[in-house]
Amino acid sequence: MSTEILDPVAEAEESAPSRRRLSRIGVIGWVSIAIIALALLLAIFGPILRPFDPNLSDLSFANVGPFGSHLLGFDGQGRDVLSRIMEGARTTVLGAGFVALIAVAIGTTLAIATAWFGGKFDASVSAGLDVLFAFPGILLAVVAAAVFGPSLLSAGLALAIAYSPYVARVLRGAALKERAMTYIAALEVQGFGAWRLCVRHLLPNISSLIVAQGTILFGFAMVDLAAISFLGLGVQSPQADWGVMVSEGKTSLLQGYPIVSLTAVLCIVAVVAAVSFLGERLDASSKDVLR
Amino acid sequence: MSEHTSATEPVLSVRGLRKVFGTQVAVDDMNFDLLPGRSLAIVGESGSGKTTVARMIVGLEKPTAGTIVACGRDRSKPARRGAERKLRGREVQIVFQDPYSSLDPRQSGADLIDEVLRVHHDHHASDRKRIVGELAEIVGLDQRQINAMPKALSGGQRQRVAIARALATDPHVLILDESVAALDVSIQAQVLNVLADIRDERGISYVLISHDLAVVRQLTEEAIVMQRGIVVEQGVTADILDDPQHAYTQMLRASVPGPGWKPQRMRERKAAADAAAEAAAS
Ligand SMILES: Nc1ncnc2c1ncn2[C@@H]1O[C@H](COP(=O)(O)OP(=O)(O)OP(=O)(O)O)[C@@H](O)[C@H]1O
Ligand SMILES: [Mg+2]
């Protein structure tokens, strides 16, 4: 920037931030993108494309290893593991996506509202969030399961609510910084309303941070949802879900047949790692793309 | 200040304007009238309250006391309705000092002016495009520059975009708060020429906040000198600059480095000015 002051005639060439951002992510970044694309495809088409009925149980095949078109073998109840992984991608991936989306929506709204209005509103909302912040998401989900009965919806909503103060806190700082920029003051003097300023100007300028928060939360949500389903408080067995599969694989695991739990855990870890990696990259690059 | 005997109504009229931050009095009892097409300078050392006055006039800060009337309409209280806010936006505009934070990094100058026009008027898209082109020409930006993202513009070019934004709704008063201070000297001169031309063409009134007394002399007919929130001298710019009455104004003028400039003398004058202010306060 200082060079621009010293050399006002310097014409900065047209920059291509998106291209630069992509080229910066490297091999791991591309692998991450491939994993996420695969997970999304599975979430959408898995339940249609799966080779066998994921709930068809034949105890004579219990804990039988891979053969023929049963690429991942059978679980302790003689169900095709590959079919269950494909079927379970939908609740696992979309469930985590749903949690991240709701948490980001609530958190962003609170962050922008508190940053914009400030004063007593900010103080009271921030104090409320600090209290909520102290609750671990899983604990809130357990409470929700106790009150509303165990289901993906109640667990997901509880997690989303538990995550939202985290998003709100991170984004509020960014929103406050943006709110203090003189371009916002200049547009206020133009008579622009709060809604237009927040939605058209403030929000886009913190959007990369929002996306980064969303991807990081997606990873958290996937792990926490799996843990909740593992505890039997989220997705209910026999419905296929990666978290449920880890739990169901326990018995096989103890019998010396780990492939069921391992496959489900590997799927979870791969997607979480890919999403977290990209999320952190986005977070880092969002800071120097525009200014 | 000098009483205007002219029949013309002032475009901006300030009475008993006061702003207190906590225990600190940032602005105390300011009064002035600004006539159409005339310009007023506000000078004073850092922290004397100049920006606070500007922010109160454009509604970014609420006055503790006093009234502000622009174009015959009171704006001492925050606008309650959107229509009133926009109306005020078409009366008084401002260009801030920092060219780097004064533009949305995601919006080109053309898009910015287009948005301002859309908020204020029902123009057809082609009319807006024409106005964007005209404004670009007035502030001296070419096609590529007005369509470029702020990141691709220099400080001077960004400040031109900010001036174009301020002029988009054809305001009656334009406040320039150190608007060229961050630019290097040759660019400063260019932007000042642009401002002088605009005034000649549009009959707009400026409130010029500046440390640069040469610029003050060039652009304004009247001036206000502030010290620690208090107006210590007010009147015709040339009189104040040529024959400063108040010790503080004398010091301010002497503090402009020129031939025969002596730091020692300046310090003495500063001491004298401070003593005078103390005496006035007690
Ligand atoms: N929002 C605020 N809260 C508290 N004090 C403030 C605030 N804004 C300004 N002040 C104080 O009011 C006084 C006047 O500040 P102001 O910015 O108006 O000075 P200025 O004349 O514009 O100075 P400069 O030439 O450095 O820009 C300063 O002492 C400043 O610290
Ligand atoms: Mg100032």
Please give the Cα distance from A268 to A257 (Å, whole number).
Answer: 19
Please give the Cα distance from B83 to B74 (Å, whole number).
Answer: 14
- Regarding the beta carbon of B50 and ligand 1, being less than 6 Å apart is answered yes
> Cβ(A234)–Cβ(A137) under 8 Å?
no
Evaluate whether residue A217 is within a structural domain. Answer: yes
User: For residue B93, what is the nearest residue in chain A, using CA coordinates?
Assistant: A189
CA B44 to chain centre: 13
Phi, psi angle pair for B17, to nearest 5°: -70, 130
- Whether the upstream peptide bond of residue B36 has omega within 30° of 0, thus cis, is no
Map tokens 């640069």 to a residue.
B212
Q: Which residues of A115-135 are buried (b: 16+ CB within 10 A; e: fewer)?
A: bbeeeeebeebbeebeeebee
Residues of chain A in contact with residue B107, where contact means CB-CB under 8 angstroms, are 201
Going from N- to C-terminal start, the domains of chain B cover: 12-105+171-243, 245-282
Six token digits for residue A152? 């993906």
Please give the Cα distance from A204 to A192 (Å, whole number).
Answer: 16
For A77-94, how does the pLDDT look when each residue is reduced to its tens digit (9 = 90+)?
778 888 888 888 888 889
With CA atoms as reference, report the closest residue to B62 among B110, B14, B17, B128. Answer: B17
Q: Is residue B4 scored above 50 in pLDDT?
A: no
pLDDT at B282: 61
- Strand-pair partners of B44: B226
With CA atoms as reference, report the closest residue to A151 among A214, A95, A218. Answer: A95
Q: Which residues surround ligand 2, an ion (CB under 5 A)?
A: B 51
> Cβ(A78)–Cβ(A57) under 8 Å?
yes
Residues of chain B in contact with residue A4, where contact means CB-CB under 8 angstroms, are 154-155
Evaluate whether residue A94 is within a structural domain. Answer: yes
pLDDT at A250: 83
Evaluate whether residue A67 is within a structural domain. Answer: no
Smallest Cβ–Cβ distance between B155 and the set A5, A187, A196 belongs to A5
Please give the Cα distance from A229 to A247 (Å, whole number).
Answer: 8
CA B89 to chain centre: 15
Question: B179 — contact with chain A (CB < 8 Å)?
Answer: no
Mean pLDDT of all residues in A151-173: 90
Which residue segment(s) compose the domain that A280 sits in? 20-52+72-290
Number of domains in chain A: 1
Q: Is residue A153 scored above 70 in pLDDT?
A: yes
For A247-282, how does the pLDDT look when each residue is reduced to its tens digit (9 = 90+)?
888 888 888 888 888 888 999 999 999 988 888 877
Evaluate whether residue A8 is within a structural domain. Answer: no
Q: Which CATH class is domain B12-105+171-243?
A: alpha beta
Question: Which residues, at least 6 apart from B239, have a Cβ–Cβ distance to it below 8 Å?
Answer: none
Beta strand B24-34 with B12-21: parallel, antiparallel or unpaired? antiparallel
User: For residue B104, what is the nearest residue in chain A, using CA coordinates?
Assistant: A183
CB contact (8 A) between residue A185 and residue B60: yes
Q: What is the ipTM of this complex?
A: 0.85
Indicate the pTM of the whole model.
0.81
Evaluate whether residue A172 is within a structural domain. Answer: yes
Question: A288 — contact with chain B (CB < 8 Å)?
Answer: no
**CATH assignment of the domain containing A180:** 1.10.3720.10
**Å between B67 CA and nearest CA of chain A:** 18
Alpha carbon nearest to ligand 1 atom 29, residue = B47
Question: A1 — contact with chain B (CB < 8 Å)?
Answer: yes
pLDDT at B130: 95
